[in-house]
């Protein structure tokens, strides 16, 4: 996975993404955000508000796929124990 500059490409659909923001008050903010394609603005996990209080997004990337249980292939309450990925229901 690589960082994508917002100067080169913006998401063409809405999904959670890892974002890097410059000048977030205390330097750089890296966290969860999403791009509102219809309004052409970013939202942030830190405040769940549509504003620039977390800084200006400079780069973004898609999040990796979630962990899935090795037995039932679901994502509920995942725990990794000794390399085996299991949910609470399959333990």
Q: How do residues 6-19 score in pLDDT, each as one tens digit?
A: 999 999 998 889 99
pLDDT tens by residue, 37-79: 999 888 876 554 444 455 788 999 998 877 777 888 777 666 6
Q: What is the longest distance spanned by two Cα atoms in the chain?
A: 47
> Using an 8 Å Cβ cutoff, are 86 and 75 in contact?
no
Task: Look up tokens 């309450």; give the residue.
Answer: 77
**Is 4 exposed, middle or buried, given 0-12, 13-18 or 19+ CB atoms closer than 10 A?**
middle
pTM of the predicted model over 0.75: no
End-to-end CA distance of the chain: 32
């Amino acid at each position: 996975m690589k960082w994508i500059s917002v100067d080169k490409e913006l998401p063409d659909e809405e999904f959670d993404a890892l974002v890097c923001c410059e000048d977030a008050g205390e330097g750089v903010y890296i966290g969860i955000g999403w791009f509102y394609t219809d309004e052409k603005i970013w939202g942030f996990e830190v405040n769940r508000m549509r504003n620039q209080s977390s800084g200006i997004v400079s780069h973004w990337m898609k999040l990796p796929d979630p962990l899935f249980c090795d037995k039932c292939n679901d994502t509920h309450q995942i725990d990794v124990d000794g390399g085996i990925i299991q949910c609470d229901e399959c333990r």
